[in-house]
Amino acid sequence: MSSSSRTEIAGRIQSTLVSNCVTRAMWQKHIDDCLHYHFHAAMIPPSWVRDTARALRGSGIRVASFIDLPLGTMTTNGKAYEAGKLVQDSVDEIDLMPNVGFLFSGMEKEYFNDIRGVVEAAAPVPVKIMLELPLLNQSQRERAVQLSIDAGVAYLKNASSGAVGKASAEQIRWLRQRAPQRIRIKASGGIKTAQHVRELLDAGADLVGTSAGTQIMLEIQGNQSARVDHVPDY
């Protein structure tokens, strides 16, 4: 693969470090890898946003974080407050876990307001909604997409992680077909190989989120036996 192709793929990867056991050493290795491969963004826990913004300043690599992962059950006011704090700490993008239970309950107003509150608090920082498509039936999927778009999200994301379901080209095409052109698509869940990344990008994903970004880049460079330290499957 040419260097331009490697650069293009790296520039679409949001390299993800999500764990309740992140150490300073793990964080530093993550930052070093993001700088080395020039990934699109470093996706890190909220408590590391301020340090990450300092470490990546001037690099062109975006600082991404998340709210209420993995449960989505914080209060709506709590989520909005957290969004405001992340913006103060210089986050560039926020991935949001909605309250899927509201959707299951037919509480569409509450589901909408939960998302809208974060979008308003984060503005102008873009919000990506983790739709958890594998957990939803067809009708719920349609409503989740429409309510999220109406609430002002910038990205639709198929799922939060591989624990929910592996990202598929079919899911990404389905989202792309339903989203206005202004809405971007992020793929996430069990993305471990360069071929998987290519399939998702070809299906219409603008970005891919993966904890195996370094492993994928080493694979592209020809190191087929490359391994990285174990992190959760995001």
User: Does the active-site annotation cover 85?
Assistant: no
Retrieve residue 215's tokens. 């492993």
Give the distance, in angstroms, between the CA of residue 33 and the centroid of all CA atoms in the same chain: 18
Residue 201 has what DSSP assignment?
H
At residue 129, the 3 state secondary structure works out as: strand
Retrieve residue 154's tokens. 């910038």
Say if residue 232 is preceded by a cis peptide, omega within 30 of 0.
no
**Active-site position among 89, 128, 186, 233:** 186
- CA atoms of 84 and 123, how far apart (whole Å): 9
User: Does the active-site annotation cover 32?
Assistant: no
Give the distance, in angstroms, between the CA of residue 152 and the centroid of all CA atoms in the same chain: 17
Give the phi and the psi of residue 148 in degrees, each rounded to 5: -65, -45
Adjacent-strand bridge partners of 130 = 157
Q: What is the largest CA-CA distance in the chain?
A: 50
Which residue is associated with the tokens 């910038």?
154
Cβ proximity of 219 and 226 under 8 Å: yes
**Active-site position among 92, 95, 114, 233:** 95
User: Does the active-site annotation cover 157?
Assistant: yes
- CA atoms of 185 and 153, how far apart (whole Å): 11
- CA atoms of 212 and 192, how far apart (whole Å): 6
Residues identified as active-site: 95, 157, 186
